[in-house]
Amino acid sequence: MTHSQSKPRRPLLPALTRLFRGPESESGVTAVEFALAAGMFLSLLLGVVELGRFAFTQAMLFYAAEEGTRWAIVNPPPPADAPTAEQDAYELQLQDYIESKVALAGLIDGKGVEATIDPAITNNADNTRWVDIRVQYTFNFMIPFFGGMGPINIDASSTGFLAEEEL
C-alpha cells in the first residue's frame, strides 16, 4: 500500500460525541451518589452532636458556678486575715461541692473541673461581702476530626454577695 492509497482517517467528531454523551450504562451511579451524600450527612450529624456536647458542658459549668456561689453564701468563707490552712480547707470543701454538682450530669468527670474562689471583698459601708466563684474545664472533642484545633478551655463564673451582721 502506498502512501497515496492509505485508509482514510475517521473523523474526530464521533469520538467526541461519545465522550460527552456519557456512559451507556448508569449502573453504580446511585452507590457513588449515596457514598458522597452519606459522608456529608454523617459529618454534619456528628458535628451537631459535638456542638451539643460542648453547649451542654458549658451550661453545666455555669450551673456548677452558680451552685458554688449559693453554697459559699450559705457557708461564708473565712475572713481574709484567717490562717492559710483554714482558707485552703474552705476551698477544698467548695471544690468537692462543685465537683459533685458537675458529676450529677454524668457527661463529664467532676475531677477535671477546677474551681477557685476569689478573696471575698468586704464593703464596710453596708457590711456586704462579695463572693466570686470561677469554674474551669478543658473540653476534649470525642471525634478527632472536629477537634482539629485541640482542647478548648471553658470558663464559667458567678458572683454573689452576702450581708454580714454588724459588729
**pLDDT tens, residue by residue, 4-25:** 566 666 666 666 665 566 666 6
Residue 146 in contact with residue 47, Cβ under 8 Å? yes
**pLDDT tens, residue by residue, 58-72:** 999 999 899 988 998
Position with higher pLDDT, 55 vs 10: 55
Compute the distance between CA of residue 93 and CA of residue 100 in angstroms, rounded to an integer: 11
What's the chain's Rg over C-alpha atoms?
33
pLDDT at 107 over 80: no
Closest CA to 108 of 47, 50, 53: 53
Q: Where are the alpha helices (DSSP H) in the chain?
A: 13-21, 29-74, 84-103
**pTM metric for this prediction:** 0.70
Specify the 3-state DSSP secondary structure of 112.
Answer: helix
The type of residue at 126 is: D
Of the pLDDT bands very low, low, confident and very high (cuts 50, 70, 90), residue 162 is: confident
Average pLDDT across the chain, whole number: 79
Of the pLDDT bands very low, low, confident and very high (cuts 50, 70, 90), residue 155 is: very high
